[in-house]
Amino acid sequence: MPSAETVAREDLILFLNAAFACTGQREFYHTADEQRVSVQFLHAYILGNYRRLYARTLAAGVNDFNAAEIIVNLLRSGQDTPVTFRTEENALLTAAIGRLPPQRGWKLITRLRQERINNRRTRALVRAYTLGQRDLTFQAVKYRRHVRAAALHAHLTLPGELPAFLFGKHQNVFRTPLLETFRQARYSHQAVYDLPFTVAQGMAAKHGIAPDLFLKNIAPRLTERERLRLQNRSGGKVEFRPERLPLTALCSYVLSLPMAERRERQDELTGWLDVAARRVLRRRPLPLPAGRTAAVLDNSFSASGSREKPRRPLALALATDWLLRSATAEGEYRAFWTHPVASPLLVRAEGQTNLTDRFLDALDWGAQTVIVVSDAVENDPPGVFHAAYTAARRLVLDLSVLHFNPVFDAEMLTVRALSPLLPAVGLRDADDLPTALGFARFAAGQTDVDELERYLSGRVQTFLNAGAVHVEA
């Protein structure tokens, strides 16, 4: 029978893997409802049994969806916070909501209001978040409904003309330029183009402005994410600056292009991906062991993702390939796709999942470290990877194999593994690969729960010292 310490370590690893990978959205094999029900069960279980560690996972690199869930759950159950941990938990909550993208932060506050979570700590957090915005006027225009909910929920006294803007009828002229622009946009076509895109879009529809004309005039105000989302709908009419995108988002864009266009633009696309990969590595190098490194990358049909997350697993595999390619010396790295391609830029999701042959190819090439990126639904044939891995551990001296899985399995309550001897680590974004590599030793069971606690405690200090990082969508 496993000890309590072993159970605690396994529980936390299970939860962290889910919190790295699950976004509550539909995946290839599971619906959005199945995803949400499963991950919410894990949140409730870990919160109830390991509250201190549950709060500290906010600093461990969990994705935005799960960070928001943790914040809500901690605020809802504030009466259960140990007195000795209250200061640290409050600091974690403040830092975590500040690091969420603005649209997620404001939606979280609206959710707190809808769920009637309105204790003193919640009001203090909402007050600090709202009044701490660097440009609250801009936020109030772009997220008007949510900022209004925050003001009502925390009984805020907002500065300047914001109360009149959020709660008034806009009959009088505003002295604040952006607020006056919003008021004028109800009557003036030209004023529409001085508003944030999402606000201007609704105003343009009310005015009956032609979509092509609207996109042409609003283009200077678009964020890079908005430009990316509008590429297909605009037929390329919106100027796009892909070199500014994060690596995984850029890979998603590349994979959305027709195959012929990818062939024609290989040099250009390669340059963009090189820049994005170097940007990730400058922030945090990959802690790779010495020797040859190979990647076994799954481009089977299930890597096509879902309607909500099209080609996301394939984009993550491509981004991982580019990161490893950029982080290693020439001749020290090689990628092995389950369905081989002449160039990684031409990869597509197709066919069955045959990881074993590619794993053996990697060993034959001389890899000492093998990184597998796959949803682990092995079906060509099923279950063979475990046998190959077991034999390789005996035959290959100092072999290190790491499995990163971008897909949360709602039925298993975790990310699926390829072998009982090779635990998987959840991975949603290639930017998180350095963190995932550091976490892999915990997933492999090479440490005890005390070391995991020390790891999380160290992450907390780094997290709290880093300050808020806002990403505009």
Contact criterion met (CB below 8 Å) for 96 and 469: no
Two tokens, residue 47: 């919160």
Numbered ranges of CATH 3.40.50 in the chain: 251-449
Per-residue tokens: 459: 């992450």
How many of the other CB atoms lie within 10 Å of CB of 210? 9
State the pLDDT at residue 397.
86
> pLDDT tens digit string along 79-121?
999 999 999 999 999 999 999 999 999 999 999 999 999 999 9
Q: Could you tell me the two tokens for 168?
A: 């008034």
pLDDT at 463: 92
CA distance linking residue 452 with residue 10, whole number of Å: 11
pLDDT given at position 471: 38
Global pTM reads 0.90
CA distances from 223 to 122, 168, 264 (A): 31, 29, 27
Ranges of residues in the chain with a pLDDT under 70 are: 1-2, 232-238, 446, 467-473
Domain 251-449 of CATH type 3.40.50: yes
CA distance linking residue 200 with residue 407, whole number of Å: 36
At 39 the pLDDT is 95
The pLDDT score that the predictor gives to residue 438 is 83
Q: For residue range 278-324, what is the model confidence (pLDDT) as tens digits?
A: 999 999 899 888 899 999 999 999 999 988 888 999 999 999 999 99
